[in-house]
Structure 1
């Protein structure tokens, strides 16, 4: 246990240190988790952090600790990860022999992006999920979008009126509604008809009204460990605690 505490302490110091020596930069590059695939290999113990002694009795435990963003350790805020929770998480992984797969239909990614929709600049969150095409192939599929309806582009709270006598003239008002008042078209739907944000987004994209300008961040959510959900994202910085790391951990009921 003392070896593990010392290992973590060195991480906390070195991950925020500034190095001028090329050897440190080389070591930092080796320690960096440069891809999600490499994260999976580290999680499964196929690769070890370079600072871990391979013949140590607690090298698997130390290796799992090295997967956490040490900037998020602590319990003094909503965005902090609890130290004891991490210990329980690691204990479950080791005792249950949990192995992570690179591809799984349980894997969900959230992409934070900026886009132009109908000439308005909006910030959106796009949810993508891995789905099997067949027994050999897998794909990412767009399964949700958030931020489009809350952007203020559309007025979803008002319902517009089509005169109750329009049937007498073959609903001639529809011509003007669709040609002159299309910006308020959602208001002509029935009050029992709910709009699907993803369907609206994809339809606008289909007619060329969506342009993706930038993807600022990608966060991947995983739940292979029984009783826990965690997220990983890329932490770009110097030091030996960088790259794709666990930045959030939640205990499930």
Structure 2
């Protein structure tokens, strides 16, 4: 029950989170007023990217039976304002390549809220053993019963970083290969004499930080405080990665916008995901 409350609290907090972004830079794309409304919600970002709402205030939703549904011209107009055109340094040529791929007549691509390939990165503050600490939580959408839910997939938490520094090479302690002949009585070396019991685990051992994180919470050593930042990572467009952040500032180019765009080469996706998941 506590975990459910924890997830619910983060979702409520994420609705009102505001990123402190600056404004103003050369080369800003001028909006003609037709696509002027701020992208206030992430769901609206999906609809605009796909061309599923009216181009002014977004009050009219488009459905497959509507003539404007997934209109190329509508999507092209929306794509121009779905980028952070004031503070990010995404190359205009890269934007054009991305738009051409997304709007391809032979293979247009769309975002799907319920499909894999996107997730949230949430920065949140916790009180851990009386001290305020920041944690990075990776959340994803998964099916549940007849619907869907956000679930925590991974956590990065500074106090756990150096908790399992497994030695390697000659500095690593070990159990002798004939330990079985002693009935493994020498396990005291691992569990009593050693301060690094992880030395005695298999070579592929990786600590499960999320389990440890939840355990500390269940032991009342860890208490949730507040969400401080939210961003989203997308890999749903073939061969591309982009990041979406929230921008709160004057003008039309506000709300949830693409702040980073990368054309993926072989191996880039794994590298970016390792960085996001803090696995480097």
1:47-72 superposed Cα distances (whole Å, 9 cap, x missing partner): 25439xxx998443221111001124
Residues 1:156 and 1:57: Cα distance change in structure 2 (over 3 Å): closer
Is the Cα contact below 8 Å between 1:230 and 1:248 reproduced in 2? yes
1:36 is aligned to 2:42: yes
Q: Which residue does the alignment assign to 1:130?
A: 141
1:188 to partner: Cα distance: 3.6
Q: Distance in 2 between matches of 1:121 and 1:109?
A: 22
Q: Which residue does the alignment assign to 1:82?
A: 91
The alignment's TM-score, normalised by the length of structure 1, stands at: 0.68
1:233 to partner: Cα distance: 1.8
1:133 to partner: Cα distance: 2.0
The alignment's TM-score, normalised by the length of structure 2, stands at: 0.62
1:141 is aligned to 2:151: yes
Q: Distance in 2 between matches of 1:150 and 1:209?
A: 13
1:92 is aligned to 2:112: no
Q: Which residue does the alignment assign to 1:180?
A: none
Q: Which residue does the alignment assign to 1:163?
A: none
1:74-117 superposed Cα distances (whole Å, 9 cap, x missing partner): xxxxxx32221111111111102222222223221100112112
1:138 to partner: Cα distance: 1.3
Residues 1:104 and 1:59: Cα distance change in structure 2 (over 3 Å): closer
Residues 1:9 and 1:131: Cα distance change in structure 2 (over 3 Å): closer
Is the Cα contact below 8 Å between 1:148 and 1:197 reproduced in 2? no
Q: Which residue does the alignment assign to 1:208?
A: 220
* CA RMSD of superposed structures (Å): 3.8
1:186 to partner: Cα distance: 7.3
1:119 to partner: Cα distance: 2.1
Q: How does 1:1-253 map to 2 (within 5 A)?
A: 9-11=29-31, 31-50=37-56, 58-73=73-88, 80-95=89-104, 96-134=107-145, 136-149=146-159, 154=163, 156=165, 187-189=196-198, 190-192=200-202, 193-253=205-265
Q: Distance in 2 between matches of 1:59 and 1:131?
A: 30
Is the Cα contact below 8 Å between 1:232 and 1:248 reproduced in 2? yes
Structure 2: any 5+ residue segments left out of the alignment?
Answer: 1-27, 58-67, 174-183, 266-280
> Computing the radius of gyration over CA atoms, which structure comes out larger, 1 or 2?
1
Residues 1:119 and 1:57: Cα distance change in structure 2 (over 3 Å): closer
SS of alignment partner, residue 10 of structure 1: coil
Residues 1:57 and 1:151: Cα distance change in structure 2 (over 3 Å): closer
Q: Distance in 1 between matches of 2:264 and 2:72?
A: 30
Q: Distance in 2 between matches of 1:186 and 1:228?
A: 45
Is the Cα contact below 8 Å between 1:148 and 1:201 reproduced in 2? no
Is the Cα contact below 8 Å between 1:235 and 1:242 reproduced in 2? yes
Q: Which residue does the alignment assign to 2:25?
A: none
Q: Which residue does the alignment assign to 2:11?
A: none
Count residues with an aligned counterpart: 210
Residues 1:10 and 1:121: Cα distance change in structure 2 (over 3 Å): same
Is the Cα contact below 8 Å between 2:51 and 2:74 reproduced in 1? no
1:199-235 superposed Cα distances (whole Å, 9 cap, x missing partner): 2111111222211222111111112211101111211
